[in-house]
Amino acid sequence: NAGVTQTPKFQVLKTGQSMTLQCAQDMNHNSMYWYRQDPGMGLRLIYYSASEGTTDKGEVPNGYNVSRLNKREFSLRLESAAPSQTSVYFCASSEAAAGNNYGYTFGSGTRLTVV
């Protein structure tokens, strides 16, 4: 009963390097999300995927790309990391269908530092 699993848990990148954050859920949820949380702040939506095969931009999509690989997996890619992308990244999933929204389940987060 893993829920939402994120890898890696910690990462340090140099400016300009690329990396992919992985997220997988085992709850058969339709929708998945990527958020970032900066110190002392709430979470901001980067990208989301309402269902397999679809992705949409959230509040802060610049500098990121996503892939909904299948129903279980939703990855976040930083093509050229910048210090401003230093943050904690959370993946979440929910059982959402047209007209209905349900509670989110979050992963444990990835703490990313860009130097």
Partner 1 sequence: GIQVEQSPPDLILQEGANSTLRCNFSDSVNNLQWFHQNPWGQLINLFYIPSGTKQNGRLSATTVATERYSLLYISSSQTTDSGVYFCAVSGGYNKLIFGAGTRLAVHP
Where on the chain is the footprint of partner 1 (CB under 8 A)? 31, 33, 35, 41-45, 48, 50, 56, 58-59, 88, 90, 92, 94, 96, 98, 101-106, 108-109
Q: How far is the CB of 16 from partner 1 (least distance, A)?
A: 27
- Alpha carbons 49 and 56: distance in angstroms, whole number: 6
Task: Give the position of tokens 């860009």.
Answer: 114
Q: How far is the CB of 14 from partner 1 (least distance, A)?
A: 24
Structure tokens at 99: 């007209």
**Cβ nearer to partner 1, comparing 17 with 44:** 44
Closest CA to 77 of 91, 63, 87, 97: 63
**Cβ nearer to partner 1, comparing 36 with 78:** 36
- Alpha carbons 115 and 100: distance in angstroms, whole number: 41
Please give the single-letter amino acid code of residue 104: Y
Q: How far is the CB of 59 from partner 1 (least distance, A)?
A: 8
